[in-house]
Structure 1
Amino acid sequence: MALLMDPGAAPLTESEKADMDAIAAIKESAAREFKEHGNKFVKMGRKHYADAVDCYTKAIAQMEPLPPGPVADASVLFANRAHVNLLLGNHRRALDDAGRAVRLSPSNVKAYYRAAKAALALSLLFEAASFCRQGLEQDPANEELKKLIVQVDTQQREQDRQRAKVAQAVSAAKDLAAAIEKRGLSLRKAEYQELTGLKKPKLDEQDVLHWPVLLLYPEVMSKNSPPLSWDDNHAYTRDTIELYYQAGVDTVLSKSEILKFLLEGTVDSKSLSESLLDGEDGEYDTGKSSTVTSSGKGSVKWIKVQEGKTLQETLQRNDFIIPAIPVFFVVSSKSTFYKEFKAGNWSLP
């Protein structure tokens, strides 16, 4: 019996050959019928798209195993299933089907169009452009492909522009991070961003590092003290004010974390590939400890800034780990709050 023959075995008798021809005719008829049902389901709307995919799948199954070389009828089936998958938003499946349709029939222009559409939806712009050009080689006057390749080229230019912008931002951030490391400075997680926003240090063309600085007034921040109308008692004068910074237990940011901080707000985070930060992992080796031992209340202490010291000299102190941008606390030796602060009885609210 022909049904029991091994695949690829040549029929030995006329009867077996007739059986094989009959089976092929039945499968061809079934494939055609499934295809027609699939086309009807597509016309019936989105609720029936899954049924259409099922019909095209069954039609393809009737034609398998496919012989080597072009098979135009099978190409149409794969292209049709690709069309429905596009409508469903199954872009990867659509691309696979349309690509198979192209291989089965290099003259199938609709298959090129659907492959290009799916590739564009997946942001595979090189592949999308290639399918468009191959399709236009088959049909140079095809308006759909002409419009599509314009979209692909436009998106490619925008992608190239965005990549250049990201690369430029990353390069500038790496230069800035290197300048911070060169000066022996350490950074920790940003604080007070509700006050500072996304302000960051900047490096100018003369390799000068410019730091924004936040000055806070503990006396105003204290919950037990009313807001100052502004120093009616004239306690905050040049001769009486002192600057302090906070030292305590903090973790130094790694190089990649510093880069991410410096890039925040400059480029879309989605466009920032981790590969751009390759080789930047690990903590800065500035010789600073990541923790500061405190003899004050808890693990935090206040360090007075020495008069006459520059900002760079202050930031380079071993116990100053910068919270993204330098923060200094301003107190007055004439203020009633001064004793409370110096005694370590005040902490951040």
Structure 2
Amino acid sequence: QLIELSTTGRSSALLLLHLLFRLPNSKPVFLFRSLSLEMALWLDSGSEPQTEAEKADLDAIAALKESAAIELKEKGNEYVKKGKKHYPDAIDCYTRAINQKVLGEEETSILYSNRAHVNLLLGNNRRALEDAEQAIKLSSSNVKAFYRAAKASLALDLLREARSYCKQGLEVASDNEELKKLAKLANAKLAEREKQEAEVTKALTTAKELISAFEDRGLKIGKAMYQELTGLKKPVLDKSKILHWPVLLLYAEVMSSDIIEDFCETDMFSSHLDMMFSDSSPPLPWDEDQAYTRENIELYFEVGSTVCLSKKQMLHYLLEGTAGAGAENIGEEDDSPNHGNPAGRDPSRWVKVNEKRTLHDVLKELNLVIPGIPVFYVVSRSSSFYNKFKTGKWAPPEFPDEGGD
């Protein structure tokens, strides 16, 4: 049992502590907590060693604490070699050795680096990075610390940080093969990331340019329809800022379809219809009566077929199928509809298209909301279906909702 310390009994107490550490089977590593407490009680505020002997005693205690820290480090290394089951014990040993605060910066850097290694093995990547960074602060020549900082950064998807740690480590040890491999991996991942970011940026820019083009022309974009027929086709804005649309033609009588892949907004409808229904073109396979000839066909668009999208909804729609699909932070776009919100579908509201007008002029019609891409209905004046269509007794079939708001 330790004697009660007094001012006059300092040397005796120190001597007793020395003796305790020299007893057979003693465990100085585990006695330091008690030793530190006794020393704190003994060396009250402002107290200093009074004799050379006491100074020597304190130096001896410091040496013992340093010895204990080294022993803790070695014990931690042993635990690491024993496998995963003992990793928490290894971390405990390294932590206690660090907390002794008696080792130099180089040795303490090694302790932090060792603890970073074990945290990496346990998947504690954030803690591993913090330990490796502390190790680097204490010793800028600790190559293992740079390697572990880079490895933890990679695991945390901090690619630029990983590359930086590899670069710094290789400045210390240019022939370190492990760092070279890690640097190569970080560079490859970063190149892929930057490529993806560039593609997302390009997709966002393209989509926003399209929205500006719609606004400049006063076009109203609504919720996409018939995507089972059109897929993810979208308009394209060329270098001259001219819109090129994919246009869906629906033969209302049989709900068959054609798609004009590139309908320039400056083109007239007649120029496309002349090519599609020329004398040299084969008849439509289902048109047994050959009613759908160039002189007989008419085009219509439907009023009230869909509702206008807000700018934010348009942006999401235009990004579908691109690298920007699902991108976060796409911008704080105005969430109000870009134009009026038409009422529900009215099957009798059909507007005939003047074939001598351009697509641009028709799409600007005040009562036309473009359902994703332009959709026009083709009917034949010589078909028995014509009167049914014109009198409003026919309506397009209802399709399931094809997308979220």
TM-score normalised by the shorter chain: which range applies? 0.7 to 0.9
* Whole-Å separation in 1 of the counterparts to 2:300 and 2:104: 80
Residue matched to 2:350: 303
In structure 2, do the counterparts of structure 1 residues 10 and 202 end up closer, same or farther at CA, with 3 Å as the change threshold? Answer: same
SS class of match (2:146): helix
Cα distance, 1:323 vs. partner?
Answer: 1.8
Q: Give identity over the alignment, percent.
A: 44
* Whole-Å separation in 2 of the counterparts to 1:157 and 1:332: 56
* Whole-Å separation in 1 of the counterparts to 2:285 and 2:153: 64
Task: Kindly indicate whether residue 369 of structure 2 is the aligned counterpart of residue 321 of structure 1.
Answer: yes
Cα distance, 1:183 vs. partner?
Answer: 0.9
Residue matched to 2:18: none
The normalised TM-score by structure 2 is 0.68
SS class of match (1:76): helix
Maintained 8 Å contact 2:297/2:378? yes
SS class of match (2:128): helix
Task: Kindly indicate whether residue 103 of structure 2 is the aligned counterpart of residue 52 of structure 1.
Answer: no
In structure 2, do the counterparts of structure 1 residues 251 and 54 end up closer, same or farther at CA, with 3 Å as the change threshold? Answer: farther
Between stretches 189-198 and 251-260, larger displacement belongs to 251-260
Task: Kindly indicate whether residue 286 of structure 2 is the aligned counterpart of residue 237 of structure 1.
Answer: no
Q: 2:342 is matched by which residue type in structure 1?
A: T
Q: 1:263 is matched by which residue type in structure 2?
A: L
Determine which of 102, 105, 120 is the counterpart of 1:86: 120
Maintained 8 Å contact 1:98/1:111? yes
Q: Give CA-to-partner distance per residue, 1:24-44, whole Å, 9 cap, x none.
A: 846853x55554454344434
SS class of match (1:213): strand
In structure 2, do the counterparts of structure 1 residues 346 and 293 end up closer, same or farther at CA, with 3 Å as the change threshold? Answer: closer
Residue matched to 1:278: 331
* Whole-Å separation in 1 of the counterparts to 2:115 and 2:310: 50
Cα distance, 1:108 vs. partner?
Answer: 1.4
Q: Which has the larger radius of gyration?
A: 2
Cα distance, 1:16 vs. partner?
Answer: 11
Maintained 8 Å contact 2:222/2:369? yes
Between stretches 96-105 and 233-242, larger displacement belongs to 233-242
Maintained 8 Å contact 2:348/2:392? no
Cα distance, 1:113 vs. partner?
Answer: 0.8
SS class of match (1:94): helix
Q: How many residues align?
A: 330
* Whole-Å separation in 2 of the counterparts to 1:34 and 1:251: 72
Q: Give CA-to-partner distance per residue, 1:171-219, whole Å, 9 cap, x none.
A: 3333222222211112122222222122111112222211111112333
In structure 2, do the counterparts of structure 1 residues 122 and 238 end up closer, same or farther at CA, with 3 Å as the change threshold? Answer: same
Cα distance, 1:232 vs. partner?
Answer: 0.8
Determine which of 63, 84, 96 is the counterpart of 2:98: 63
In structure 2, do the counterparts of structure 1 residues 127 and 143 end up closer, same or farther at CA, with 3 Å as the change threshold? Answer: same
The normalised TM-score by structure 1 is 0.78
In structure 2, do the counterparts of structure 1 residues 8 and 53 end up closer, same or farther at CA, with 3 Å as the change threshold? Answer: farther
Residue matched to 2:379: 331
Maintained 8 Å contact 1:249/1:290? no
In structure 2, do the counterparts of structure 1 residues 347 and 165 end up closer, same or farther at CA, with 3 Å as the change threshold? Answer: closer
Task: Kindly indicate whether residue 341 of structure 2 is the aligned counterpart of residue 290 of structure 1.
Answer: yes
Determine which of 77, 80, 84 is the counterpart of 2:111: 77
Residue matched to 1:225: none
Maintained 8 Å contact 1:170/1:263? yes
In structure 2, do the counterparts of structure 1 residues 305 and 122 end up closer, same or farther at CA, with 3 Å as the change threshold? Answer: farther
Q: Which runs of no fewer than 5 residues in structure 1 stay unpaired?
A: 223-227
In structure 2, do the counterparts of structure 1 residues 269 and 101 end up closer, same or farther at CA, with 3 Å as the change threshold? Answer: farther
Which protein has greater RCO, CA pairs closer than 8 Å, 6+ apart? Answer: 1
Residue matched to 2:310: 254
SS class of match (2:254): helix
* Whole-Å separation in 1 of the counterparts to 2:207 and 2:392: 41
Q: Which runs of no fewer than 5 residues in structure 2 stay unpaired?
A: 6-35, 257-283, 399-405
Cα distance, 1:293 vs. partner?
Answer: 6.1
In structure 2, do the counterparts of structure 1 residues 77 and 183 end up closer, same or farther at CA, with 3 Å as the change threshold? Answer: same
Q: Give CA-to-partner distance per residue, 1:68-103, whole Å, 9 cap, x none.
A: x95333322321222233334433222112111111
Q: 2:354 is matched by which residue type in structure 1?
A: E
Q: 1:267 is matched by which residue type in structure 2?
A: A
Q: Give CA-to-partner distance per residue, 1:109-144, whole Å, 9 cap, x none.
A: 100111012223333233223222322333233222
Maintained 8 Å contact 1:79/1:111? yes
Maintained 8 Å contact 2:349/2:392? no
* Whole-Å separation in 1 of the counterparts to 2:90 and 2:348: 74
Residue matched to 1:43: 81
Between stretches 123-132 and 333-342, larger displacement belongs to 333-342
* Whole-Å separation in 1 of the counterparts to 2:387 and 2:76: 85
- Pairwise CA RMSD: 3.6
Q: 2:96 is matched by which residue type in structure 1?
A: A
Residue matched to 1:113: 147
